[in-house]
Structure 1
């Protein structure tokens, strides 16, 4: 019990119940798949992947995830996909068309619409702002 209290004081928590383990597994799978999508330019159907990987009904997975995390599984995946878009915009020279294709968006417009909805800026403006900040940081470090 003292170990658990010590860990909690320092920002850690033990994954002890099935639900928490399942949610942790879902998050790891989503992260892995999004990284692979970017490398292999292929879209994965998360509902099928998660149901097969966890040997559970997708609706049960989704319901449990939403109840625990306070966000739907679909929105969580969209948020993670947009985080990957941000990463590619800042750290690669890939065009929006290439990024949309890599991450399985149906079109550049679809990517742009979701990006602006979540981030509040169009992807092109986000990229230019981030590049300016990076260039400024590099000049300061030089």
Structure 2
């Protein structure tokens, strides 16, 4: 059995959910972003307790298949953009998602847009911009290296997209002293 958990977007989230499962003595096979593979199906009262506990920690246990699919799309995109292996950023997004999730892209796109009120492509842009903000704040890479690492065709394309989303150029953002980054689950 698989459980799908909303807002589980980082390794620290995996650790917290793992601790909660262990605390409730719910055996599991594996945990990845947004998903837990259970060894056995928990009893309804155990699922309710787990759901209540996770809610207090800022997570949500999803029971609707479409919501679970949308969360899987989000975590796949977050892994793609914020992960260590950025070689797949040059792969066509529709092909990457279809291959990763094993569901037709048209269905993925329709379900995502209906649930989130924005397209997958727009969500990817917002995630990429959050990653650009993060890299700009670290101040370890120049704009050309950032554009290359995130699969932008040029620095100009990155700069135009960044300004369209944030209202600032990347250079102006880098000079800001305040942090205007958003948590990944709120993008």
TM-score by length of 2: 0.62
1:1-142 matches, within 5 Å, as 3=49, 6=52, 10=56, 12-36=59-83, 42-130=89-177, 133=178
Specify which structure has the higher proportion of strand.
2
The RMSD of aligned alpha carbons is 2.5
Number of residue-to-residue matches in the alignment: 132
What's 1:140 paired with?
Answer: none
Which runs of no fewer than 5 residues in structure 2 stay unpaired?
A: 1-44, 180-187
For 2:89 and 2:143, how far apart are their aligned partners in 1? 16
CA spacing shift, 1:39–1:77, aligned 2, 3 Å: closer
How far off its partner does 1:45 sit? 2.1
The residue matched to 1:14 in structure 2 has which SS?
Answer: strand
CA distance in structure 1 between the aligned counterparts of 2:60 and 2:87, rounded to whole angstroms? 34
Against the structure 1 CA distance between its residues 122 and 54, is the aligned structure 2 distance closer, same or farther, given a 3 Å change threshold?
same
What runs of 5+ residues in structure 1 fail to find an aligned partner? 135-142
Render the CA deviation track for 1:58-95: whole Å, top value 9, x for unaligned: 11101110000011111000000010000000013211
- Alpha-carbon contact 2:80-2:86 (below 8 Å) kept: no
Q: Distance in 1 between matches of 2:170 and 2:161?
A: 10
Q: Distance in 2 between matches of 1:53 and 1:28?
A: 11
Distance 1:61 1:127, change over 3 A: same
Residues 15 and 127 (structure 1), Cα distance of their counterparts in 2 relative to 1, 3 Å cut: same
